Amino acid sequence: MRMIIEDFKESSCHYLDQGEEKVRKSFDFLDEEDVWKKPNTALNSMGNLLLHLQGNISQYIISSLGKNPDTRQRDEEFQSNPGYSKKKLLEDFSGTVAKAKEIIRNCPEEELLRIRRVQGFELSGTAIVIHVTEHLSYHAGQIAFWTKFLKEQDLGFYKGTNLNRKNE
């Protein structure tokens, strides 16, 4: 069982790394003003999505799984442009992901199995990690799409990788 838990933790951290890298590569193509563009009132800017990801990761992993106070102010994540630079957004986001990975890697098995209430939902520690990983992937895909749309360019996520290889 211990090997399964350790594999779960490392696989989860790997996918958090992948999501962070996709966000970072997308942001490399963006100008400061691109970060805060909104295509319409029903959509969020990429800057707001990054603030939202930080809030989500903080509430679910850092607060709940890491047993830290829940200080999330979710509505503030969606303010039009709170004045953060692209560099500051990425630094804060990377720091949040790094702290989350540290908590995941050090999380005891009993905490991964324990049920707790987060944002009104009853979740086990493993469900929390899965939620955060999936949520990051979802919004990283939105950021990548919006970047490709704005810049009309492939972002090179899998450059040098043969994605047509068959399973062995």
DSSP for residue 79:
S
Domain assignment of residue 110, yes or no: yes
Total domains present in the chain: 1
CA distance 44 to 110: 37
Is residue 40 included in any domain, yes or no?
no
pLDDT in tens, 104-155: 999 999 999 999 999 999 999 999 999 999 999 999 999 999 999 999 999 9
Is residue 75 one of the residues assigned to a domain?
yes
In sequence order, the 6+-apart residues with CB closer than 8 A to the CB of 18 are 137
Structural domain includes residue 106: yes
Q: For residue 85, give its domain range.
A: 2-27+50-151
| pLDDT, tens digit, 9 for 90 and up, residues 6-19 | 999 999 999 999 99
Q: Identify whether 91 is part of a domain.
A: yes
User: Using one digit for the tens of pLDDT, what is the confidence trace for 36-74?
Assistant: 998 888 899 999 999 999 999 999 999 999 999 999 999
Q: Is residue 164 part of a domain?
A: no
**What is the reported pLDDT for 153?**
93
The CATH number assigned to the domain holding 116 equals 1.20.120.450
**Position 91, amino acid:** E
Whether residue 23 is contained in a domain is answered as yes
Tell me: pLDDT of 2 over 80.
no
Q: pTM value? A: 0.94
